[in-house]
């Protein structure tokens, strides 16, 4: 029997990916961290991070802040990626890691649409994006949470849907708008035909979270685990390398939102997330308790939800300008 060849050295970025998957980081965070670590290595002239330390990390972050003028949020993300590299991958727990300055988080007032503007925006969407847009505004879901919905997460009898592993890995239950029950059921009828086509053609089932694929090998082929918003085409899973059906790509709705804003004459910097901001503000405007809104949005701290009360006060004109009082007098 021939001896088994010893595996070669594992590349640094592959070590980063392995460690992040072991700690169950999301794919989006993995992609972001790998991006910043790669840029750090290239910026340093391809030196290994073991040969560098605090001086190089701070110089790189200074380059990002001064030369590239990145936002504080981007600055913090790059710093978090490098600290992860040194602590979790290279095993370096050094005092300087806690001493590097981190830009303070700045809480911005969110862009919120009026009810007529939401009506105009949603009316300009087409196809499954129109249904997806109404679902986002009607439930307050993040786009990634809506796209990750499985058939089993919709409970039409109780008029609720379950968000699995939302931001921070938390589950929550939100309302299912009654006006979306029939459209969603009709949509699932079309999706089931696509699911049946995959079964007939012998395609692998959809991706399952964590180790469920090993525990229930056929669950990914079941209707219950299928995506509510599947992609019309097959794609290669970036982690397993298996060609299978993923959920709809985020850019599909983002492009339609951009076109709808332009066509509707809405003069605000609107994104998909604006629907979530509008959901929260309009709920508070209708008298919903802020704690309820906090739970629906999945916020850990009510102070995060409080930002919408500031928007509401200004929109309602509850604080009159002294100029108006002067002219009125």
Give the active site residues. Answer: 142, 167, 273, 276, 299, 308
Residue 10 · residue 50 · CB < 8 Å: no
Contact of 102 with 76, CB cutoff 8 Å: yes
Evaluate whether 142 touches 276 at the Cβ level (below 8 Å).
yes
Phi-psi region of 127 (alpha: psi -120 to 50; beta: other; left: phi over 0): left
CA distance 61 to 16: 20
Residue 281 exposure: Cα atoms within 13 Å on the Cβ side: 23
Neighbours of 305 (CB within 10 A): 19
- Torsions phi, psi for 245 (to 5 deg): -90, 125
Tokens of residue 62, six digits? 């200074």
Beta carbons within 10 angstroms of residue 133's beta carbon = 25
> Where do the H-state alpha helices sit in 94-235?
96-99, 115-124, 127-139, 143-147, 181-200, 212-215
Gyration radius (Cα) of the chain, Å: 24
State the Cα–Cα distance between residues 194 and 188, nearest whole angstrom. 10
Q: Could you tell me where the beta strands, DSSP code E, fall in the chain?
A: 154-155, 160-163, 172-175, 230-236, 243-247
CA distance 250 to 62: 32
E strand segments, 21-97 = none
φ and ψ at residue 186, rounded to 5 degrees: -65, -40
């Amino acid at each position: 029997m021939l001896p088994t060849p010893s595996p070669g050295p594992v590349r640094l970025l592959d070590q980063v990916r392995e460690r992040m998957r072991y700690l169950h980081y999301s794919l989006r965070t993995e992609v972001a961290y790998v991006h910043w670590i790669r840029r750090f290595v290239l910026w340093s002239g391809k030196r290994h991070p073991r040969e560098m330390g605090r001086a190089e990390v701070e110089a790189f972050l200074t380059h990002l802040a001064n030369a590239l003028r990145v936002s504080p949020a981007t600055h913090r993300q790059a710093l978090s990626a490098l600290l992860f590299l040194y602590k979790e991958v290279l095993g370096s727990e050094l005092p300087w890691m806690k001493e590097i300055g981190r830009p303070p988080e700045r809480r911005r007032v969110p862009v919120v649409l009026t009810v007529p503007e939401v009506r105009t925006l949603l009316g300009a969407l087409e196809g499954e994006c129109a249904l997806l847009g109404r679902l986002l505004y009607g439930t307050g879901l993040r786009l990634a949470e809506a796209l990750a919905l499985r058939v089993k997460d919709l409970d039409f009898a109780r008029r609720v849907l379950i968000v699995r592993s939302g931001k921070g890995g938390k589950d929550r239950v939100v309302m299912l708008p009654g006006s979306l029950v029939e459209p969603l059921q009709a949509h699932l009828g079309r999706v089931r035909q696509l699911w049946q086509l995959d079964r007939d053609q012998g395609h692998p089932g959809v991706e399952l979270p964590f180790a469920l694929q090993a525990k229930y090998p056929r669950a990914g082929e079941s209707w219950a685990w299928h995506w509510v918003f599947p992609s019309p085409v097959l794609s290669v899973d970036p982690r397993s390398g298996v060609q299978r059906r993923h959920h709809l790509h985020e850019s599909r709705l983002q492009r339609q939102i951009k076109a709808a804003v332009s066509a509707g004459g809405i003069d605000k910097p609107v994104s998909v997330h604006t629907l979530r901001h509008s959901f929260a503000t309009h709920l508070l405007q209708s008298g919903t308790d802020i704690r309820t809104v906090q739970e629906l949005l999945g916020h850990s701290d009510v102070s995060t939800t409080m930002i919408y009360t500031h928007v509401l006060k200004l929109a309602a004109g509850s604080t009159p300008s002294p100029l108006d009082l002067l002219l009125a007098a």
